[in-house]
Structure 1
Amino acid sequence: MKGRASIHRDFSIAQIDDRLYSAFIEHMGRAIYSGIYEPDHPTANADGFRNEVLDLVRNLKIPAIRYPGGNFVSAYKWEDGVGPKEDRPVRLDLAWRSKETNQVGINEFARWAKDAEIEMMLAVNLGTRGIEEARNFVEYCNHPSGTYWSDLRRSHGVEDPYGVNMWCLGNEMDGPWQIGHMEAKEYGRLADETSKAVKAFGKGIETVVCGSSNDQMPTYPDWERQVLEECYENVDYISLHKYFGNNSRNSLNYFAKVEETGRYIQSIAGVIDYVKAKKRAKNDIYICFDEWNVWYHNREEDSKNWHSWDWPEAPALLEEDYNLEDAIFVGGLLNEFIRRSDRVKIACIAQLVNVIAPIRTERGGKAWATSIYYPYQFASLYGRGTALNVSVDCPRYDEAVAQDVNYLDVAAVLAPDGKSITVFAINRSPDEAMELDLALHGFDNLKLIDHQVMGGDSSLARVANTCAEPNKVTPRKGDRLAVGEGALKGELPAFSYSMIRLSVG
């Protein structure tokens, strides 16, 4: 199988916002408790956070993290998580039918985020609460001193404000499962007024309004239209959520869902443009794809459990053992975000630890990287800069979710200093290697810096990293590519993901 591609230095898509490689963590399952926070763990620091988990997180270079939810936020009282820990109430979390001890709240999480070198992106409760509580939360976090809420923060040992600039206006408010679910116009009005209140705290604050929970919702995409018609001039982003699976055990159909995601993004971009034109607005709104990941391995069984269990504390929930196939798919999805970086400015892998996550932990024991950790890490480290157009000519296939799908999936990013280019390449074929001929125009002195590859054998599609065997699916050094005559040539193994770095003049 042969695949030809072409890149030109001057043909770019957009400057990539670093926040395209952000993450999400929710008070759900073991994401917080025994995930990032376990005071009795041998590696716990003075604040109770697991240092070996922090190391894995730091190695991802995550720019921003969305917190504290998720469905959890729609009944959350942020005030429960501040002040002396012994005085904090234990609450029942209706979203995941579990107990919330509130031992981690905004101040603890802020210290963890600082240690992890991640900017916070906070969500406010617009399910059971509203403008007043959101305003108070922002004042607590962002105002220096001299007011009730800012001085309360200072009394809790935090003198300097956090200066949080990204605020999510609720979560999945289109979903009937959401506590406080609303109709589109009702939510749009509330989001508009809440955004104005939040932005009154100073310049630089950005807000994210809820779009559809997924592109299969019966109200999609009219939900986006109605919401934006109410709040377009006062918000900055609209959120998209989508989770993926391969219940049919058809790898090619699974990989084609990347194309389906591209259509989702394109459709919402069209809605944004329509509302902007209709309102004669001057501002632009971008997409915040703030929940995405693979979620299907344990989904049915987990759903039975959490709908029936008796309010446990930090139960194991949505703990997916990701395999090689999932890693290749996640690499493709990240490629699509790069190709759509003119519209998608923020994206958050959901979630970060234990709950459908690139990082897993054993309670009291080890932490390890799942298979999807690596393509996410490569994109975060080397996918920053300018997204370049890639012209691809290769064999194609048809599946249920999309037709004319390329076997060769390529995205390319020129580094901010212009001295290197990174190519993320996937051969989706289960059984045929891809003979690659990638022409690079407008670049001088091409040199291959690094080639890391995952996969190469579809018979290993279901192999996963586990606590007992944490290194079953990891990148290895590639040796089948070379540079010559202004092109990158060689072979991409079947069923593989590659990260290729080139120095350029």
Structure 2
Amino acid sequence: MASDTLKATLVADKSFVIAEVDKRIYGSFIEHLGRAVYGGIYEPGHPEANAAGFRGDVQALVQALNVPIIRYPGGNFVSAYNWEDGVGPLELRPKRLELAWRTVEPNEVGTNEFMDWAKEVGSEVMMAVNLGTRGVDAARNLLEYCNHPGVTYWSDLRRKHGVEQPHRIKTWCLGNEMDGPWQIGQKTAVEYGRLAYETGKAMRLIDPEIELVSCGSSSSAMPTFPEWEAVTLDHTYDVADYVSLHQYYGNRDNDSANFLARTMDMEHFIKTVTSTCDYIKAKKRSKKTMYLSFDEWNVWYHSNDADSRLEPWSVGPPQLEDHYNFEDALLVGSMLITFLRHADRVKIACLAQLVNVIAPIMTEAGGAAWKQTIFYPYQHASAYGRGISLQPIVNSPKYDAQDYTDVPYLDSALVYNEESEELTIFAVNRHLEEGLQLTCDVRGFEGYRLIEHIVLHHEDLKAINTARDEQVKPRQASGTVCKDGFVETLLSKASWNVIRLGRTNSSNC
């Protein structure tokens, strides 16, 4: 190894505990938007469709991601949605103008169909209620319909619709992005705070076991951030369990070094919201800690221009269909790493979205389903990022980007699974031109051995996957060694890495 090779070190120790990782940080999102539902998870007549019209090939890919929770049905869609339109006999369901995305909603898929599908793929549902055009009554009725056992109007209506047992949905969003001028029924912070509190209060009277998510700012760039959080939480703190965060990043100016540093902004966003929550906690003399639900996050910028040319008022048009490249996968990996390093406060996170719409899974009408580049870091984190998040002690060279200074080339997180006795090192090398020689001190994990080193790398940052050509896919790295309590490896330039250690029969460490 040349003496001028970039070098980084990392120390892993069982005592450097951040928190238990809530598996729901690997959640996702399905909105009635574009081809997420119609032409995505649901396509009657497709060769892989089941009797209910849901695609088996899509289901298999969702199951491969092991998604623990899925937010539904929106998103901007929910702010003008009448949930009653989506239950009962299909032939009686109305078609509606959908104002958020200017499409027609046929209501072929509604609450019960989606709950059945979520059960099939092994996911819980995070249900959102409409606090744009509606309020307390619609929310409490939906909760009664979904969660109450029976002998009331709405719960008996569910049973009449063929669903004998309650859905028992645990987690509920009190509206969506209510600070946004694009939102149907936009609210001021005080208007939203009062409505969300009264709605949550009524919902808890029906089912005291539910969890509630109060709407935070639509992004950290909103002019009202973080005042929105301070004002709304002043109302909702006692009734809510989480406050939401939404954030998307793009690379329109094609500055890859700056793009890969965007998680510096995400770190600041999380810390600012956490501080605001703790301010309200102190103000109220509360013993309760408010947790964070990062229930919309992803890369999103490729599809915006194409969407502007779509004709309105069709069913399931191809909206927000970003075709992700390799560098997008790197940033998605770093965003997942950021959640792990904040596992003490970030308890839910939903990659937006799951199928076709800014998604890891894409489909062709009547044809194949396939994996986008971002599928892989999401899959790896979901598979190997469950356990205890440990604080890595990192020494890494840094760089300055257009919008950020002192950006570490090494972005990393550690997860220790006590049950399986495995340690996973997640690492992104942000350097676009050079490999990074990494030395990991794992002496605190005596007797652990190298299981594997998975790497996602491509020489072309703009490489994409298609239904017939998967250019970007993981492979096993060579040359990684574990000896005398140290892991030595070379992280390829611009790469996502998963280094797994455990008590196996592999090479000794």
Q: TM-score range by the shorter chain?
A: over 0.9
Code of the aligned partner of 1:358: P
Q: CA deviation at 1:504?
A: 4.6
Code of the aligned partner of 2:226: P
Show the counterpart of 1:4: 9
Hey, which bits of structure 1, 4+ residues long, moved more than 3 A? none
Code of the aligned partner of 1:236: D
Cα contact 2:458–2:472 (8 A) shared by 1: no
TM norm structure 2: 0.97
More displaced stretch, 439-448 vs 317-326: 439-448
Q: What is the distance in 2 between the residues matched to 1:259 and 1:90?
A: 44
Q: What is the distance in 2 between the residues matched to 1:146 and 1:363?
A: 43
Q: Does 1:317 align with 2:315?
A: no
Alignment of 1:116-155 (within 5 A): 116-155=121-160
Q: What is the distance in 1 between the residues matched to 2:327 and 2:383?
A: 22
Show the counterpart of 2:481: 482
Q: What is the distance in 1 between the residues matched to 2:403 and 2:372?
A: 27
Q: Deviations over 1:386-421 (max 9, x none)?
A: 000101111100113321010011111001416101
Alignment of 1:24-423 (within 5 A): 24-302=29-307, 304-306=308-310, 309-417=311-419, 419-423=421-425
Q: What is the distance in 2 between the residues matched to 1:178 and 1:150?
A: 30
Q: What is the distance in 2 between the residues matched to 1:289 and 1:364?
A: 34
Code of the aligned partner of 1:154: R
Code of the aligned partner of 1:413: V
Code of the aligned partner of 1:230: H
| Counterpart secondary structure, 1:128 | coil
Q: CA deviation at 1:282?
A: 1.6
Q: CA deviation at 1:444?
A: 1.0
| Counterpart secondary structure, 1:120 | strand
Q: Deviations over 1:20-76 (max 9, x none)?
A: 100011000000001000011000011110000000000111110000000000000
Runs of 5+ in structure 2 lacking a partner? 1-5, 505-509
Cα contact 2:147–2:207 (8 A) shared by 1: no
Show the counterpart of 2:455: 453
Q: What is the distance in 2 between the residues matched to 1:356 and 1:205?
A: 29
Q: What is the distance in 2 between the residues matched to 1:375 and 1:339?
A: 16
Q: What is the distance in 2 between the residues matched to 1:201 and 1:442?
A: 49
Cα contact 1:408–1:428 (8 A) shared by 2: yes
Show the counterpart of 1:494: 493
Q: What is the distance in 2 between the residues matched to 1:436 and 1:143?
A: 54
Code of the aligned partner of 2:258: N
Q: What is the distance in 2 between the residues matched to 1:456 and 1:310?
A: 38
Q: What is the distance in 2 between the residues matched to 1:156 and 1:341?
A: 40
Q: CA deviation at 1:203?
A: 3.4
Q: What is the distance in 2 between the residues matched to 1:487 and 1:149?
A: 60
Code of the aligned partner of 1:320: D
Q: Deviations over 1:198-238 (max 9, x none)?
A: 11123321000100000010100000000001111110000
Q: What is the distance in 1 between the residues matched to 2:10 and 2:302?
A: 34
Code of the aligned partner of 1:49: F
Code of the aligned partner of 2:126: M
Code of the aligned partner of 2:81: Y
Q: What is the distance in 2 between the residues matched to 1:15 and 1:220?
A: 29
Q: CA deviation at 1:456?
A: 5.0
Cα contact 2:261–2:404 (8 A) shared by 1: yes
Q: CA deviation at 1:385?
A: 0.6
More displaced stretch, 413-422 vs 325-334: 413-422
Q: What is the distance in 1 between the residues matched to 2:358 and 2:309?
A: 16
Q: CA deviation at 1:305?
A: 2.8
TM norm structure 1: 0.98
Show the counterpart of 2:468: 468
Q: What is the distance in 2 between the residues matched to 1:326 and 1:245?
A: 9
Cα contact 1:481–1:491 (8 A) shared by 2: yes
Q: CA deviation at 1:142?
A: 0.3
Code of the aligned partner of 1:446: Y
| Counterpart secondary structure, 1:256 | coil
Cα contact 1:9–1:441 (8 A) shared by 2: no
Q: Deviations over 1:263-321 (max 9, x none)?
A: 0000000000000001111211100000000101121331x235xx2311110011111
Q: Does 1:432 align with 2:437?
A: no
Q: Deviations over 1:351-394 (max 9, x none)?
A: 00000000000011100010000000000111011000101111
| Counterpart secondary structure, 1:474 | coil
Runs of 5+ in structure 1 lacking a partner? none
Cα contact 1:121–1:165 (8 A) shared by 2: yes
Code of the aligned partner of 2:93: R
Code of the aligned partner of 2:475: R
Q: CA deviation at 1:252?
A: 1.2
